[in-house]
Amino acid sequence: METIKQTHDLTIFSGLVEILISSGLGEKDYGLAQNHHQTRYEDLARIMNKEGYSNRDGNPLNRNTLKQVVHRVKTKEDYLEKIKPDWSWFEGSSDRTDNKTQDTSETCLVCNTAIPREYHKTCSAECGKVYQEHKNAPCDPKFPSAFHQMRYEESFSKINH
């Protein structure tokens, strides 16, 4: 019976992660509230019920069910590592600043090579990691990151020379 419980938990959790990833990347609009800093379990349960997920007894999912599933799955680090998304996928997926100086070039902010993926700031996962580690470095407040400021200053110096 424990195996069935674990398998169902992993199925529910995988569906939950897939919904969050596809919503975060803008691949599918599930109607998640944009005014919350975190997605709520109630919203995810509603979406997952519409997508055909149910609890082990076949009843609709609710907030508490999802909370329990997440709690049980958190102990399975090997599984979590397998389904963890590449966080560089989400770079540029939402505008975190309203300034007009954001770099819109098609070169990597870290190494300045061509970016093979549309709507990304970096060319690879390695550059994405470097960007994530240093994106909060001190910079002029009108820039979202030190990398943006560096690219702006480089382009500005090319124009003036």
Are 96 and 80 contained in the same domain? Answer: no
Question: Do residues 107 and 113 make contact, with C-beta atoms less than 8 angstroms apart?
Answer: yes
Name the residue with higher pLDDT: 97 or 127: 127
pLDDT tens, residue by residue, 81-104: 777 777 777 665 544 333 333 444
Show the 3-state SS of 80-125.
HHHHCCCHHHHCCCCCCCCCCCCCCCCECCCCCCECCCCCCCCCCH
Are 81 and 101 contained in the same domain? Answer: no
Range of the domain at 40: 2-85
Q: What is the pLDDT of residue 87?
A: 72
Determine if the pTM surpasses 0.75: no
For the chain, the 3-state helix, strand and coil shares in percent, each to the nearest 5, are 50, 0, 50
How many domains is the chain built from?
2
Are 71 and 12 contained in the same domain? Answer: yes
In the chain, the amino acid numbered 20 is L
